[in-house]
Copies of this chain bind each other. A is one copy, B any other.
Amino acid sequence: MKQKTRTNSYLKELYCSKCNKIYRADQVQQLCECGAPLLVRYDLDSAQHEWKQESLKGRTKSLWRYKEVLPVENDENIVSLGEGGTPVLPLKDAGKKIGISNLYLKDEGVIPTGTFKARGAAVGISKAKELGVNTIAMPTNGNAGAAWALYSARAGIHAVIVMPEDAPKITRNECAAAGADLYLVDGLISDCGKIVGQAIKENGWYDASTLKEPYRIEGKKTMGYEIAEQFDFELPDVILYPTGGGVGIIGIYKAFLEMQKLGWIQGKLPRLIAVQAEGCAPIVKAFEAGKRESEFFEHSETVAFGINVPKALGDFLVLKALYETDGTAVAVSDQEILSAVQTLAKEEGTFVCPEGASLYAAAKKLRESGFFSQDERAVLLNTGAGIKYPDSVHRDIPVLKKDAVLG
């Protein structure tokens, strides 16, 4: 048998995020019996003695630099398109405009497939490969489906993707190019979820829906590790995150807790801010009512398609992260979002997706309300490239004849 190369992962087991029941990590697992998501536990007691920050120097810039706290055990199972290591950019002019001296953008547009979904897909598909999965299935608002379809293609795994009919066309084409079985639904992501759930039951496929497999969050959490490393392990004061399914915010919080255990970071954690669109703000509604879970948000609609999630399976984990870090939740209007897309492009040259732009609008509100002060360091986590949303900008452009004279 071919010699396998170990990744040196400290992977230990899975545990339920609600009832704490423990599951083995070397078999396919989905939700806990109690219906809640499973999370990955590492042997951080050993890791804190054996794994030091210094070992990161000279490693690949991709998210696989954190292999010790990722769930893949053999290098040969790593399915990579070069994801991770996205830049953190100072937003001096845009920050000044809203009274924030230290505003930053972590730009997840600079990643394969153009969105942060690549992180979850890379780790999720790698682990699925390690577990011998043949077919995955998932509902999606578009970007996750595109990422999982492309990583599946690279892994030689078959993908069944179901998305709302009005999801961004470009994500449809990505799935199609990747050779996935793609279906459109005349409805919302929640409707797609029901169709996928039924089909999974009948066909025995691997359910790659948000938080229904435990590993997507592990990919997403690397954003937290990167932010820490990029700020030399002196964490920023506030992190704003566009929240649909919320896996990123859960993941970033998990990363911070892990790094505390590893002894890599000290002191107060950044306040985590969930930003939603006014047209779909279940987490904001729940937070404002001091609740631990959200309710289904009826008739949801927003230009920030990626965060149009009326009820997230992990809502209670998102809310927990907000409460425990003294964070908050904010809703902004579609008009504020589209205006922020333009401001960021004009002032900073960053063409972000509507979801990312919502953070700038939210930062303005939070600064005005005094939630954070001028000198605190705030990070906007832009989840994707503006080029995936070609219709978020409108302007009439003059058309010239071949022999026209300009200026």
Contacts and interface: CB of A to CB of B under 8 A. Distances in A.
Interface of A: 57-58, 61-62, 79-82, 85-89, 93, 107, 109-114, 150-156, 160, 162, 165, 169-170, 172-174, 176-179, 182-187, 191, 194-196, 198-199, 202-203, 341-342, 345-351, 385-388, 390-395, 397-407
Nearest to A125: B349
Nearest to A202: B407
A150 B179 CA distance: 34
Nearest to A201: B407
A182 B398 CA distance: 8
Most B-side CB within 10 Å, residue of A112, A172, A199: A112
B198 A406 contact: yes
B195 A404 contact: yes
A391 to B, nearest CB: 8
Number of copies: 2
A154 B107 CA distance: 15
B87 A170 contact: no
Interface of A is mostly: mixed
B176 A395 contact: yes
B385 A114 contact: yes
Contact of A154 (B57, B174, B348, B390): B348
Given A153-B346, A170-B387, 19 more contacts: A62-B87, A81-B107, A82-B86, A87-B112, A109-B112, A110-B112, A114-B387, A150-B350, A154-B348, A162-B406, A165-B399, A173-B395, A174-B393, A177-B345, A178-B349, A179-B345, A183-B406, A185-B401, A186-B401
B386 A387 contact: no
Nearest to A118: B110
Contacts of A398: 183-184
A172 B397 contact: yes
A78 to B, nearest CB: 12
Given A114-B385, A393-B176, A349 B81 contact: yes
A152 B184 contact: no
Contact of A57 (B57, B107, B150, B385): B57
A87 B81 CA distance: 7
Most B-side CB within 10 Å, residue of A86, A151, A176: A176
Given A169-B390, A397-B172, A402-B186, A153 B345 contact: yes
Given A57-B57, A388-B387, A177 B399 contact: no
